Amino acid sequence: MAFLSAALVSITAFTRIVIVLSFVKRSLTTQEIPPNPVIIGLAFFLTAFVMGPTLDSIHEHAIAPYLSEELTGGQAITVASNELHGFMLYQTRKSDLAVMINLADVDFPETAYDTPMRILIPAFMISEIKTGFIMGFCIYVPFLLIDLVVSSVLMSLGMMMMPPVIISTPCKLMLFVLVDGWDLVIGSLLKSFS
């Protein structure tokens, strides 16, 4: 079970999704809403959605032939890891892959598909974290502007003792709801994997 949870975080789309959803929660300044179990549950099911084609391919080419005894266990693992290798390679930036190859002190592979998993997985994770932070920054900026406007208005009115978050949070929530924020965030997240 510990290996499965580590695999969920390290070789799937989960990392990027949960980072972006956490940025949405923080940018809205709603510390407890939605609760963390809801964020993690949504990230889990979005991960299943994104990984669907890869998981279907693993089932078709590795699990089903193994269950029908057409492949041995080792062959099935090799086929499944090749499918995951393709997904991770497609989502990994070349610069992150180059950094990990340089740090591993190995020769550059002839093709990207020859990259060993011990190098690809950390490069993939770094790339996912970087993409999640870039998307989170783009989400955070409009809400930061609302905070700045509200605090400037309160200062100009002489209401220095009133915390700006009391006024800005309802404004941010109203804006988020009016622009269908969840649809935009989820749509952008899913399109970032295509």
pLDDT digits (tens, 9 = 90+) for 81-127: 888 888 888 888 888 888 888 888 777 878 778 788 888 888 889 99
Bond preceding residue 34 cis, omega within 30 of 0: yes
Domain that holds residue 56: 2-191
Spatial distance between the Cα atoms of 134 and 47, rounded to a whole number of angstroms:
19
Taking alpha carbons only, the member of 193, 191, 181, 194 closest to residue 21 is 181
Spatial distance between the Cα atoms of 152 and 158, rounded to a whole number of angstroms:
10
**CA–CA distance from 53 to each of 47, 60, 192, 193 (Å)?**
11, 10, 15, 12
> Per the structure block, which two tokens stand in for 20?
């972006």
The band of 1, judged by pLDDT with boundaries at 50, 70 and 90, is low
The band of 74, judged by pLDDT with boundaries at 50, 70 and 90, is confident
Residue 167 or residue 48, greater confidence: 48
* Residue type, position 44, single letter: F
Spatial distance between the Cα atoms of 63 and 80, rounded to a whole number of angstroms:
8
The band of 153, judged by pLDDT with boundaries at 50, 70 and 90, is confident
Query: What are φ and ψ of residue 72, in 5° steps?
Result: -80, 170
Percent of the chain with pLDDT over 90: 3
Residue 163, pLDDT > 80, answer: no
Q: How many domains does the chain have?
A: 1
**CA–CA distance from 95 to each of 37, 90, 91, 120 (Å)?**
34, 13, 12, 12
Global confidence as pTM: 0.81
Spatial distance between the Cα atoms of 132 and 138, rounded to a whole number of angstroms:
10
SS3 content of the chain, % helix, strand, coil (to 5): 80, 0, 20
Residue 44, pLDDT > 80, answer: yes
Residue 36, pLDDT > 70, answer: yes
Q: What is the mean pLDDT of the chain?
A: 83
> Per the structure block, which two tokens stand in for 31?
């510390």
